Structure 1
């Protein structure tokens, strides 16, 4: 994996095996366009298929103070045909699905506006931290559109169907305090620096646990959300029993019995 590759619409930094992806179109409020989605897809595929670098966790954020991702690039979309829109929607959904299915934890660190596609990108991460000035919303109906990168599906799972319908039908914005009460985000911070510092602390704390167990827990939770409770319990039981064949399970339980810190290998 080439961590020194240069991108036009984002920056990718890795330090001590923790990665930060920064959406970097500040003059356009970090608005999503086809180029950015293509670069994100390429990067995430590289991360997902990498067997050598072993990134432990990722923070997704936006450049500057005004916007995480203010939405999709409307100028680019305004002249699209249905076929063009299908291609764009497919690309956007591929990117959000890649974020959602990465084996490592991904934290969205939202500063300023996270509207439309920006909200959808944030929701595809494992959870969302936000600054007090963050603003969320799916305002597509105000433009004669609907969410196309997963918003109609993920928002309902995060805040409940009726809340999601009210938000999507009205297109209204959510400030950070209301988003916190609804469960869309999990923590708020006074400023971006404090948020980024805490997000990195969280990833480092998670990395002290078995990476195999964290990855499996993520997989089971993501897959189980669309199952009945009975089906979900069967899935959990299979994975719970399966992890007993792992080196991490043996190391973790032995370390507990021996009253020492575990040394996990992720296998």
Structure 2
């Protein structure tokens, strides 16, 4: 259901149910959360096995949910997405194939979304009488803007990689998304974690700026700076 490989400073997490397009059941959500929390790796790379990134929640599970159980399942997915978003590790989603529903929402929680030309995205819940409840109505407008988010969510249409790049749903379209994640590990690991924390801060602007200055001072104190670097010839 989830394969974990540690490659030096990079933890690779592979959603591994290709026969179900990597759709997630509660046990899969639990395993994903543990794999994100229980590592000191500065960078995590999240991908899907086979020809899909993630189809979202397993519909066989959803079909059996009633009342409070349905709400609890939504809250479980939200909690996992929030763990990805707030964890110290920089999390990179590598989308090579279809991301649907909860798969889009997990990708939205990641710090970077890197796609291949084969990547496609859709919030298909509306076609089933549902909607993206793993934080989709929160993060999608934040990432692509309210207008684009409304269009994607209300229509259920499929967005290809080029359109996703244009609207900011993904940061890059490349042949090898994993190489982007690997390149991040060359950067200072403390600076990576600090940048993520600062970028995710939702405090008022003045508070953010104060925290930014404090974080910068802490990094300067520990950074092995070359005082001649950048001084010119």
Normalising to structure 1: TM-score of the pair?
0.81
Change over 3 Å in CA distance of 1:63–1:162 after alignment to 2: same
1:128 and 2:113 correspond: yes
Moved over 4 A (4+): none
Change over 3 Å in CA distance of 1:16–1:25 after alignment to 2: same
For these two proteins, the number of residue pairs brought into alignment is 230
Aligned pairs for 1:22-171 within 5 A: 22-47=14-39, 54-64=40-50, 66-171=51-156
Please provide the CA RMSD for this pair: 1.8
Structure 2: unaligned runs, 5 residues or longer: none
Aligned pairs for 1:162-201 within 5 A: 162-190=147-175, 194-201=176-183
Change over 3 Å in CA distance of 1:220–1:195 after alignment to 2: closer
Aligned 8 A contact 1:213 1:243 in 2: no
SS at match of 2:200: helix
Question: 1:204 Cα deviation (Å)?
Answer: 2.3
The match for 2:225 is 255
The match for 2:195 is 217
Aligned pairs for 1:199-238 within 5 A: 199-201=181-183, 203-205=184-186, 208-209=187-188, 211-224=189-202, 231-238=204-211
Choose from 5, 22, 45 the match for 1:13.
5
Aligned 8 A contact 2:57 2:102 in 1: yes
SS at match of 2:5: strand
The match for 1:5 is none
Question: 1:251 Cα deviation (Å)?
Answer: 4.1
Question: 1:70 Cα deviation (Å)?
Answer: 1.7
Normalising to structure 2: TM-score of the pair?
0.92
Q: Which has the higher contact order (CA 8 A, sep 6+)?
A: 2
Single out whichever of 71-80 and 232-241 deviates more from structure 2. 232-241
SS at match of 2:185: helix
Question: 1:178 Cα deviation (Å)?
Answer: 0.3
Mapped partners of 1:188, 1:98: distance in 2? 25
Aligned 8 A contact 2:42 2:88 in 1: no
Question: 1:136 Cα deviation (Å)?
Answer: 0.6
Mapped partners of 1:239, 1:259: distance in 2? 23
Structure 1: unaligned runs, 5 residues or longer: 1-8, 48-53, 261-267
Mapped partners of 2:30, 2:92: distance in 1? 21
Question: 1:71 Cα deviation (Å)?
Answer: 2.3
The match for 1:263 is none
